[in-house]
Amino acid sequence: MSEERRELETPLVRPRRLRRTPALRRMVAEHHVVPSSLVLPVFVREGLAEPHPISSMPGVVQHSRDSLKRAVAEAAELGLGGVMLFGIPEHKDATGSGAIDPGGVLNLAITDVVAEVGDQLTVMSDLCLDEFTDHGHCGLLTPDGEVDNDQTLAAYAEMVLAQAAAGVDMVGPSGMMDGQVAVVRQALDAAAHSHVSILAYSAKYASAFFGPFREAVDSSLVGDRKTYQQDPANAVEGVREALLDVEQGADIVMVKPALAFLDVVRRVRDAVDVPVAAYNISGEYSMVEAAAANGWIDREAAILETLTSIHRAGADVILTYWAAEAARLLRR
C-alpha cells in the first residue's frame, strides 16, 4: 500500500479524542445528574418501633417516625431536592379515612419531617387513597365495585387540606382520576394554601413493574388498576394527560414508570413548559439490585447510568430509591 493511500485513509475527524481522559469526558458530558434534582421516596408505617426491611426492595425499609427523621436529615445533608412521603396505617377502611385524619400516619409524618428539615428539602406527600383503603384502590368504590371518579375527587379535596395543614410543600396526586389536579388546586386556593405546589402524576401507567411497591405499602389490592391508569401501549395519551394537568394548574408533571417509558418522558418534555419529573419505580430498582446481587452487573455504574438515562430523556426531577446513595456517588 502506498504512503499516499495510507494518508488518505487516516481519519481526520476522531471523536474518540474527547473520550481519552476522565477530565475530558466530564468536560464535554451533555447531561449531568445532580443531587438537587433527586427526590427520595420514603415509607413510614404506623406503630413501628424500628425500621422494617422490604424484602423485594433490598436496602429500602418501612420507617418508624423516629427513623424517618434520621433519613430525611441525611437527605438534607446530601443536598437532595426533596422527599416523597408515603404513609402506611395500622387500620384501613373502605373510604380511606386515615388519609384525612389529622392524626393519621402520613399527616403526622409530614409535620415531623417539616420540623426536622425546614426548608432544606421540598417536603412532598403522596395524595392518593390506595394505602388507606381496605380494597386497595386509589379511590372510592361504587356499590358494584367500580372506582367512582367524582366521589374520589371530593375525598382528594379533603385529603389535600389535611396535608396542607400538616405543613406540606408539594402534593402528588397520583390516583389518575380525571380532573384531580383542578380539584386539588381549587381546594388549596380556597383554603388559603395557594403556596402549596402540585406534582401531578400525569402519565401513570398500569405497569408490571409496580410489584415490589405493593409490599412496600402493604397493599390490599386484588386485581388491577387498568380502568384508571394508562395502557402501556399509549404514548400520545400520556402527552394529552400532561397537557390537561398543566391547564388545570400542575406545577410539575410526571411520567411513571421511567425506564419503560423514556420515550413518553421525551414527548412530554417537548410538549410542556413546566418541569418534568419521572419516577424510577420499585421494579426498576429491584431488577438492578437483583442483577448486582448475582454479580451480573456493576451495581454503582448501573445506578448512575440508569439515572443519567432518565435525565437524558428529559426529566428535570427524578424520584428514585437510590437518591441518597446516588448523591454520595456523585460527590466522588
- Measured at the CA of 206, the angle between CA 89 and CA 266, to 5 degrees, comes to 115
* Catalytic member of 69, 92, 204, 226: 204
Contact criterion met (CB below 8 Å) for 96 and 129: yes
* Known catalytic residue at 92: no
> How far from the centroid of its chain's Cα atoms is residue 306's Cα?
15
* Catalytic member of 69, 92, 226, 256: 256
* Known catalytic residue at 256: yes
For residue 228, the tally of other CB atoms under 10 A from its CB is: 18
Q: Rounded distance, CA 86 to CA 328, Å?
A: 24
| Cα–Cα distance list, 14 to 5, 17, 18, 19, 314 (Å) | 19, 6, 8, 10, 28
Q: Rounded distance, CA 322 to CA 152, Å?
A: 32
Q: Rounded distance, CA 95 to CA 113, Å?
A: 26
Which are the catalytic amino acids? 204, 256
